[in-house]
């Protein structure tokens, strides 16, 4: 039988009443302690990278930059590429997994959420997750929301305030609610 962490990552329904839920909640509580430290203390870039490594359980590359505050519900299921930049006040709900490629730029107040609740009102204490994938050289504009199960293709731009509910192809600019393609990007390699 799979444990609650595997079931969560596989997108299976997980109830807050599950006997294993306290294990999941323990990781969430630990993440909140680390995020509190990140958001309330004056830290050097090296200290921020060390804290992000502790939060995710993986090394946080020296080419990456995060400007606090940053909010996260879990932490362990985020994979950051290299040359990543994230501006302040972003929120990641990563229980379903968030994979971020290289040279990705994320503007302030962006929300990435991999978790959802059952639509049945008598079963709302049950959640299920779908991963988010952000491929290389993506730029996500201020206050955009990326919903569960979305992949954003390489080189694409998500406009400010967009709500992305479906996959975004490579080399396009999307915007709106729900997001739609506005323009193709002509990629010219330097």
pTM of the model: 0.96
Question: Number of structural domains, the chain?
Answer: 1
Quick check: is 189 in a domain? no
CATH of the domain at 81: 2.160.10.10
Q: Of 94, 97, 90, nearest to 158 (Cα)?
A: 90
- In the prediction, which pLDDT does 1 show? 62
- In the prediction, which pLDDT does 52 show? 97
pLDDT of residue 51 exceeding 80, the answer is yes
DSSP 21-85: HHHHHHHHHHHHHHHHHHHHS---HHHHHHHHHHHHTS---TT-EE-S-EEES--TTEE--SS-E
Quick check: is 133 in a domain? yes
Quick check: is 190 in a domain? no
The verdict on whether 36 is a catalytic residue reads no
- In the prediction, which pLDDT does 187 show? 87
Domain range enclosing 121: 4-184
pLDDT tens figures, 77-119 = 999 999 999 999 999 999 999 999 999 999 999 999 999 998 9
Q: Which of 36, 83, 103, 117 is catalytic?
A: 117
């Amino acid at each position: 039988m799979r444990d609650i962490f595997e079931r969560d990552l596989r997108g299976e329904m997980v109830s807050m009443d599950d006997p294993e839920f306290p294990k999941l909640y323990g990781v969430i509580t630990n993440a909140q302690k680390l995020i509190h430290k990140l958001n309330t203390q004056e830290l050097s870039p090296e200290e921020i990278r060390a804290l992000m490594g502790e939060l995710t359980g993986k090394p946080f590359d020296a080419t990456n930059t995060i400007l606090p505050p940053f909010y996260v519900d879990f932490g362990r299921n985020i994979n950051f590429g290299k040359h990543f930049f994230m501006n302040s006040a972003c929120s990641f709900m990563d229980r379903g997994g968030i994979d971020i490629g290289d040279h990705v730029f994320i503007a302030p107040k962006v929300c990435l959420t991999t978790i959802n609740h059952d639509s049945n009102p008598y079963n709302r204490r049950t959640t299920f997750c779908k991963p988010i994938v952000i491929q290389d050289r993506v730029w996500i504009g201020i206050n955009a929301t990326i919903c569960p199960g979305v992949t954003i293709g390489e080189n694409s731009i998500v406009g400010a305030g967009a709500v992305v509910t479906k996959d975004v192809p490579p080399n396009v600019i999307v915007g709106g609610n729900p997001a739609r393609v506005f323009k193709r990007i002509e990629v010219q390699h330097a």
